[in-house]
A = this chain, B = another copy of it.
Amino acid sequence: MKVLADPQVFQQQSRKWRTAKKSIGFVPTMGALHEGHLDLVRACRKKNDATVVSIYVNPLQFGPKEDFGQYPRTLQKDLDLLQAEKVQAVFTPSDKEMYPEGFSTAVEVKGPLVGGLCAPFRPGHFNGVATVVVKLLGAVEPDRLYLGQKDAQQVAVLKRVIRDLNIGVETVVCPTVREHDGLAMSSRNQRLTLEGRKTAPVLYKALKVGKSIVDLGERKAEKVLEEIRKVIEDEKSVKIQYLEAVDAETLAPVWEIKPGIMIALAAYLDNVRLIDNIII
């Protein structure tokens, strides 16, 4: 397994694969790998000759009051996991390699995709994500990009950016991987207290309650969201940041539940921000 930090060196590696007609799949991560990441890696390995994983905690996508400093960093453990998964190469650039002196370019996303959900609470976040992913796609030049449905707004934004900039990569979205009790896997789960960890599955439990109400025939988004909110608010330690019903592709708010609708939420628990979503 190659571990490379220089974007230009990585590009040379990718071009060698391309010349040898090997397909390249790419899983971008911020490290602190869990089964959710490994699921993406496995999906990637199945379809591509070379699987590339990047590990980079991107400062651009954290706000000044966010958890950049506290974000878990477990590089050696991550590399061991990826080696066990028989990944061909890991891209681990430094901040200096990603944003050298004189760096002057930003990929910015405008419009309804960044009008709701996480965006109002994380100003600049999706521009930071778009910028780093365009850079990573530049260095890796993959055929396929693997993203997890848990980060639904990120998925919608990146699909749009890739289309808008004519970047020649196919995006593959894999379902959210969950703990046995339903909690969506996230590197941030590590930061929960024991008590918080026990409470956290309420988020998915509540989303499933919402889905079952829809299955019973409810079509008013307001009603469904209200029932979900009740379930979560039974847990006093959980603070909902947002809870919305949106079109899964455009992320536009919806009032009537139809197929292709996503219910998404963010909530604080133990000062840790967790997100989850369910597609109806």
Which residue numbers of A lie inside 8 Å of B, CB to CB?
7-8, 11, 15, 18-19, 21, 102-114, 130, 134-136, 138-139, 141, 160-161, 164-168, 250
Contact = CB atoms under 8 A, between A and B. Distances in A.
Q: Indicate the member of A114, A160, A165 with the most B CB atoms within 10 Å.
A: A165
Contact of A161 (B15, B18, B105): B105
15 contacts: A11-B166, A18-B18, A19-B21, A102-B111, A104-B109, A104-B114, A104-B164, A105-B109, A106-B107, A107-B107, A108-B108, A135-B164, A138-B165, A138-B167, A138-B168
A12 to B, nearest CB: 9
A134 B168 CA distance: 12
Contacts of A102: 111, 160, 250
Contact of A135 (B7, B112, B139, B165): B165
Contacts of A110: 104-106
A130 B105 contact: yes
A164 B103 contact: yes
Contacts of A250: 102
Contacts of A15: 168
Give 9 closest A-B pairs by Cβ, nearest first. Answer: A138-B166, A105-B164, A104-B111, A139-B166, A7-B166, A106-B108, A105-B161, A135-B166, A11-B168
A279 B74 CA distance: 50
A10 to B, nearest CB: 9
A207 B15 CA distance: 44
Contacts of A168: 11, 15, 138, 141
B19 A160 contact: no
Contacts of A18: 18
Nearest to A161: B105
Contacts of A106: 107-108, 110
Contacts of A139: 166
A89 to B, nearest CB: 15
Nearest to A111: B104
A150 to B, nearest CB: 22
Contacts of A108: 105-108
A134 B112 CA distance: 23
A19 B165 CA distance: 22
A165 B104 contact: no
Q: Indicate the member of A11, A104, A106, A136 with the most B CB atoms within 10 Å.
A: A104
Q: Indicate the member of A21, A112, A134, A160 with the most B CB atoms within 10 Å.
A: A134
Contacts of A7: 166
